[in-house]
Amino acid sequence: MKKEVVVEEFSGIKLRIYRYGSGSPSILITAGIHGDELTGVYAAYKLIEHLNNTEKMDGTVKIVPVVNILGFLARIRHNPIDHVDLNRVFPDGMGSTVTKGIIKTVWELASSSDYVLDLHCAGHYSYPYILSVYPDYDYVKTFVDNISWHVSIESSGQRGQLFIEASHQGIPGAIIETVGGRGYYMKRWGDELFKTILGTLNNLGILEYGEADKGKKHYGKLKRVKSDYEGFFKPYIALGQEVAEDDVLGEINGNIVKSPISGIVLGVAEGTYVFKGESLARIAESI
Ligand SMILES: [Zn+2]
């Protein structure tokens, strides 16, 4: 069922909310809170299409496929009229009446849910991962263990984010960071994310999906490997690969770059020119 909620009276800007099933457990799935992260939006619309043709459900799925409506229209991260990052101002909002109206509506949906899953993109040269404060709360870890994806990392816990504020309120929340961003979506990873969501809904007992997988590995926080050099980085490592401390990550202008930690490679500065102090790779630390 589709509902449109006016989030700001003067402009009449509307938020699209889709709701399927009834009763508990209930999950809120959001995407496009950063308006340029389109792979999550693609997966959310694919889920809507799927649920439009699903008869048997045990629980409620609420979907907001595009949270940052104006940012999405402009294919940019922030709300273009006040430059607010919507995923920094929960639960009270900030800036324009449009931002405040969106935050209020989404927070009400989150507050009346048992779980919150927010879909993001971490760039085109990244590997998907679940982000949460799983070490802080058992109920968050239980939720993350039900998410049908094999890489889980610890969030920095920065306040104002939807999944963080929900988690502190006793509603387990997590982000899935997938591949894409800057106004482009990656079909392959969007299709994979869609399967991950169906697997998660299966694990939560909301609907049946045969390919669900609960196996996963938890890692610590994401560390950036900063460059001491300037030039084109040539990575020797693959995304999603595990590395040990001092393993060679690649080279830049003939200089070898080694990994300062052991962990899993979730992002690489591939296909770009890197300046001194910029990130060459993002690695989540093994625990
Ligand atoms: Zn994002």
**pLDDT per residue as tens digits for the range 206-256:** 999 987 676 899 999 999 999 999 999 999 999 999 999 999 999 999 999
Ligand 1: centre distance to CA 186 (Å):
15
Phi, psi (degrees; rounded to nearest 5) at 233: -80, 130
> What domains can you pick out in the chain, each with its CATH number?
2-203 (3.40.630.10), 220-285 (2.40.50.100)
Calculate ∠ Cα 251-217-184, nearest 5°.
60
Q: pTM, whole model, 2 decimals?
A: 0.96
According to DSSP, residue 87 is labeled G
Ligand 1: centre distance to CA 255 (Å):
32
- Burial of residue 158, with CB atoms counted within 10 A of its CB: 0-12 exposed, 13-18 middle, 19 or more buried: exposed
Beta strands 217-226; 180-181: pairing state:
unpaired
Query: Is 243:262 a contact under the CB 8 Å cutoff?
Result: yes
Integer distance in angstroms from the first to the last C-alpha of the chain?
Answer: 43
Reported as a single tens digit per residue, the pLDDT across 92-112 is: 999 999 999 999 999 999 999
Ligand 1: centre distance to CA 56 (Å):
32
Ligand 1: centre distance to CA 78 (Å):
10
Ligand 1: centre distance to CA 97 (Å):
22
